[in-house]
Chain A
């Protein structure tokens, strides 16, 4: 029998008792993102000043495509978790908080999925 006051349980008081996974994945995506960020910077340097055909050829090149997709997945995962913390810190409205948290997920998935499809389309020559 928990010694926690029943009213406290109902109101959701006390520690959330979760969040370690979030912390670990945040560091994990950051670690994975480090070489990917270098890759993206290098890709940008290679693409600067290129024609549309050259850009399409480089982005469509299979290893580069995979690198871009990996970067999109890792970066947007890291962004989603980071923005979640910011929203939890500053948004406290009864409806604005869950809405903001949901919108963050929607935003990150929208761009990530669209970006991956864009890379695949370029790679297939479309």
Chain B
């Protein structure tokens, strides 16, 4: 575990952003979003259990503008991460390594996550 500064060849500075590269980054980023977002949801659950003014605070935040935006963003992150996870499962089983298939699955993941988010929240607000 050397702490000496060693030269690194340029990577992010020079690599052309490809779809697969961005999908990999997005999968990790949505994972991080969910890591903290889900912890915040559990905080809300604790507030509910505590009752009284704690629950009042939870309810206020959850129904606020920012809270609603947070929940919508979190559900999008969940859909994207889950669909991306299914992509990984397909690769783990040994299928879908052809470049055409890879790009197709990537598109399905992005469109699917946006579509599912819209569907879910549309149904919630309309039904």
Contacts and interface: CB of A to CB of B under 8 A. Distances in A.
Interface of A: 27, 30-31, 34, 37, 41, 45, 48, 52, 55-56, 59, 68, 72, 75-76, 79, 82-83, 86, 92-94, 97, 107, 111-112, 114-115, 117-119, 121-122, 126
Interface residues of B, number: 27
B26 interface: no
A107 B59 CA distance: 24
B46 interface: yes
A122 B124 contact: no
B21 interface: no
Interface in B47-80: 48-49, 51, 55, 59, 75, 78
Contacts of A55: 48
Interface string B1-45: 101000000000000000000000000100110110011001101
Given A75-B38, A93-B3, A118-B46, A45 B75 contact: no
B contacts with A: majority SS: helix
A97 B3 CA distance: 12
Contacts, number: 68
A79 B46 contact: no
A83 B48 CA distance: 27
A48 B124 CA distance: 8
Given A83-B35, A118-B49, A94 B3 contact: yes
Nearest to A45: B124
B31 A56 contact: no
B99 interface: no
Contacts of B38: 75-76, 79, 111
Contacts of B28: 86
